[in-house]
Amino acid sequence: MTLFEKHQALIEQAIEAGKTRNFWTPYPENPKAYGEGMDEAGKTAFSAQMTHDFKELLQEGNAWVGEEFSPYLQLGIGVKYPQSDNETIIARANKAQQQWGKTDIKTRAGLLVESLERVKGRFFEIAYATMHTTGQAYMMSFQASGPHANDRALEAIAIGYQQLTSITPNATWTKPMGKFDLTLQKNFKAMPKGISLVIGCSTFPIWNTVPGLYADLICGNVCIVKPHPKAILPIAIVVAEIQKLFKENGIDPMVVQLAVDTVDNQITKQLAEHRDVKLIDFTGSSAFGDYIESIPHKTAFTEKAGVNCVILDSVKDIKAVAGNIAFSASLYSGQMCTAPQNIYIPETGINTTEGHLSYDDAKNALVQAITDLAENPKMGPHILGAIQSEATLQRLQNAGSLGGNLLLAGKGVVNPEFEHARVFSPAVIELTSADENIYKKECFGPIVFIIKTKDTEESLSITKKLSAEIGAITCLAFSTNTDTMQHIEDSMNQVYTPVSFNLGGAAFVNSHAAFSDFHVTGGNPAGNASFTNSEYISKRFVWVGNRMME
């Protein structure tokens, strides 16, 4: 049985899930689904890797580098990786491209799904590696870097397989010409564009990397994975599993390479601008994302910064709504591209099922909900996680100097398991709609703006304008009026921003489900690509048709 035959049913299920858009996953997000002892084994494996060179990669290097730092332990994890010069990396990629580009689609699909099965066996080790490089709490580390990342990778494989098999490879073309027929033999080939570069981020080193990686690979492109120098180990494990699997199956393992660097000696621009690199995936700041998009003769897929907003119009239960917003704003200390930042409340207040609520009462409910969550010893540390970078911490500590009325300062939160963990509650600042010089930019991390507006229409107008000019990945709105909801949806969709209405319970604006939700639309400045629509795949290859007359 070939690997494609082994996984064909799963690929077909993934294609169907993408059509129906209902919940589906072959990778449960509950750690208990993977058997007893797996968590402890993963923790032991991570601990054993600390302070040692990562020798699983099949690529050689001329030096060993690594400078990852645990936000929980407040010390370096001590792992180093083989580093090669850029020209050596490119030469390996060019050589591997000759084989991988000619490998048939079924073989590619089978190998790639099998690689996800190999990665699944290391979900727990990857979780601890993610936790101690990004600061994500354990459960988020497990789910985001494990099952949810595998979901997105499989989604890319499925859509790629669907598109690459949508056109017959061979055809006999006959055109009646009256007394004779004109017959041509034709073949159609999906030609990969070539070497791809996937640039990882420091906060979600796997979840934001594998969609582009697997989209490139299913289309026949070799890939150079360039992780953030502060978050290498999680994706290094994934790359190592792919390399080992490829070698076992007679495929050049250099189809996927890890390109590492340090903060003080970065190689990203040199690789991105290299003439042989044709495709680039990037997640990170708008400034660098704009640069990536500006490089000539490259096909770029970007996810950049945006300003995500919450519109409060009317609610059923203010306590439940405040709790939902507080959770979304506090989750992983706001270090998510989907986290809400600007919360708009009309100066006249909002209606609830229990009567009218003043602006001050609505504002205070939000501040209290954020405070209660942070001070809850059973919830706070595990929802907040830890702050990944010193720059984010400094931004939080200087929040009072941004302007406006500081309603809540960011305070240290004790994590009972890690006494030195860098955990802080969010800062909350009150502004007016006139303070756009403050709220008209992303303040990455645990900083929330509560903005007093004239009415819901002004809240919507500001949100729409920011989405069009700055970009947004999410928009959360609360209203009990169906006409108002439709108005908000229509307005925000005009600037290519999705809206989530009246979320509660276990539904939070931060989460986007593979096979159902598109992550980023690609239509506003927050990014030019979307996980995972057809364009995300089709721009990675070119259809070429050949004709022959017999």
Domain boundary among 462, 485, 501: 501
- Among candidate residues 521, 465, 486, 484, the one with its CA nearest the CA of residue 351: 484
- Give yes or no for a contact between 402 and 429, defined as CB atoms under 8 angstroms apart: yes
Asked if 416 and 290 sit in the same domain, the reply is no
Q: Does residue 247 fall inside a structural domain?
A: yes
CATH number at residue 381: 3.40.309.10
User: Distance of alpha carbon 492 from its chain centroid, rounded?
Assistant: 22
How many domains would you assign to the chain?
Answer: 2
Residue 523 within a domain: no
The answer to whether residue 518 sits within a structural domain is: no
Q: Are residues 40 and 177 in the same domain?
A: yes
> 349-382, pLDDT tens digit by residue?
999 998 999 999 999 999 999 999 999 999 999 9
Place of tokens 């300062």: 409
Q: Compute the distance between CA of residue 322 and CA of residue 315 in angstroms, rounded to an integer.
A: 10
523, 496 contact by CB (below 8 A): yes
Which among 483, 501, 519 is the end of a domain?
501
Residues 49 and 170 placed together within one structural domain of the fold: yes
Same domain, 486 and 539: no
Do 540 and 497 fall within a single domain? no
Q: Is residue 520 part of a domain?
A: no
Quote the CA–CA distance of 29 and 262 in Å, as a whole number.
Answer: 33
Decide if 370 is inside a domain: yes
Q: Report which of 454, 523, 513 is spatially closest to residue 492, judged by C-alpha positions.
A: 523
**The pLDDT value given to residue 542:** 98
The contacts of residue 394 (CB under 8 Å, 6+ apart) are none
pLDDT in tens, 119-165: 999 999 999 999 999 999 999 999 999 999 999 999 999 999 999 99
Work out whether strand 170-176 and strand 181-192 pair parallel, antiparallel, or are unpaired: antiparallel
Clarify whether residues 296 and 318 are in a common domain: no
Domain carrying residue 544: 3-305+530-548
Are residues 381 and 241 both part of a single domain? no
Residue 524 is assigned to a structural domain of this protein: no
**In terms of domains, do 174 and 33 share one?**
yes
Residue 425 lies in a domain: yes
Tally Cβ neighbours within 10 Å of residue 105: 18
Determine if the peptide bond prior to 130 is cis (ω within 30°).
Answer: no
What is the CA 546 to chain-centroid distance, rounded?
38
∠ CA 271-304-450 to the nearest 5 degrees? 155
Instruction: Identify whether residues 206 and 334 lie together within a single domain.
Output: no
The domain that holds 281 is classified in CATH as 3.40.605.10
Residue 301 and residue 319 in one domain: no
Q: Are residues 367 and 412 in the same domain?
A: yes
Whole-angstrom CA distances from 476 to 60, 144, 275, 470 are 48, 21, 42, 17
Report if residue 521 sits inside a domain. no
Q: For every one of its 550 residues, what pLDDT tens digit does the chain have, with 9 covering 90 and above?
A: 999 999 999 999 999 999 999 999 999 999 999 999 999 999 999 999 999 999 999 999 999 999 999 999 999 999 999 999 999 999 999 999 999 999 999 999 999 999 999 999 999 999 999 999 999 999 999 999 999 999 999 999 999 999 999 999 999 999 999 999 999 999 999 999 999 999 999 999 999 999 999 999 999 999 999 999 999 999 999 999 999 999 999 999 999 999 999 999 999 999 999 999 999 999 999 999 999 999 999 999 999 999 999 999 999 999 999 999 999 999 999 999 999 999 999 999 999 998 999 999 999 999 999 999 999 999 999 999 999 999 999 999 999 999 999 999 999 999 999 999 999 999 999 999 999 999 999 999 999 999 999 999 999 999 999 999 999 999 999 999 999 999 999 999 999 999 999 999 999 999 999 999 999 999 999 999 999 999 999 999 999 999 999 7
Which candidate, 462, 471, 516, places its Cα nearest to that of 491? 462
Residues 322 and 349 in one domain: yes
